[in-house]
Amino acid sequence: MNYSTSFKNQYDNRNADTLVLQGNKQFKDLEFDNALKSYEQALDIYQQLSDRTNADLSVQINKIIVTTNIGLVYFELFYSEPNQHKQALDLLELALNMSREIQYQLCEANCLHNIAWVLSYHIRYANNKNSSDDKHFDENSDLVKQVLDLYQQALDIRKQINEKADIAKTLQNMGAIYEYIGQFEKARELYQQAIAIYKELEDGEDKISTLIRATKVKDVLSEDDPFYPTASGDREDIGEPSYPPTVSPPN
């Protein structure tokens, strides 16, 4: 590779990285249409870089991260339209396959977690609709089994690579599924495992507060515990998606 080609690759990589960071901010600000444009522009650049650099590993990882982000954007854009969730799932499954091809476990676990998150939409809101044909989910429902299996796969990987914050997040999401289907003892057990990890994290107090205020499961945390939240309030979802790491810096 000559100097001019190397310089162009570094220049393009930095431009793509900047677009991803811009997309991340737009996503956080709920500007999903703008975030989608930023991510798609970044992905196009990463694809060109991949073609020029013979699939450089860092570029491949960045492609996985951005593909995952685009999948999450599509889910948010069509959040209340479950018939449109297939596009999000297709992108997350693509990112999952890409992660497995290069054996990148961090992104593999993220993808498994996020596929479960998208699929669990129907479980989370089965009792929030008013139509007479609402589906009832329990531990024997195929969708519940599929979602829990995906979360378990993500959890196993996260334990292998010792990503504590992500382990707690997946435990909490699994607990939420059990809560939604009325298995409160199992939900409590998983929430308490998540809380034990959150207590070790810098932002753990906020995580615990969010969980305790959202769940209807009793005795998850003693009111005498110093981490027990003092503020009241509710949120719609107990669980949350797993956002991929930011793009890796160019070589």
Tens digits of residue pLDDT in 203-215: 889 999 989 988 9
DSSP label at 104? -
What pLDDT does residue 131 have? 40
pLDDT tens digits, one per residue of 68-95 = 999 999 999 988 788 889 999 999 999 9
What pLDDT does residue 233 have? 54
Confidence of residue 237 (pLDDT cuts 50, 70, 90): low
The position carrying tokens 């396959």 is 97
Write the single-letter amino acid at 75: F
Dihedral angle of Cα 245, 154, 180, 223, to the nearest 10 degrees: -70
The residue among 138 and 195 whose pLDDT is bigger is 195
Inter-residue contact 19 to 48 (CB < 8 Å): no
pTM over 0.95: no
Indicate the SS3 state at residue 204.
helix
What would the two tokens of residue 105 be?
A: 């476990």
What sign does the dihedral 193-194-198-204 (CA atoms) show?
negative
CB burial of residue 11 (10 Å; 0-12, 13-18, 19+): exposed
pLDDT tens digits, one per residue of 24-33 = 999 999 999 9
**Is pLDDT of 250 > 70?**
no
What pLDDT does residue 55 have? 65
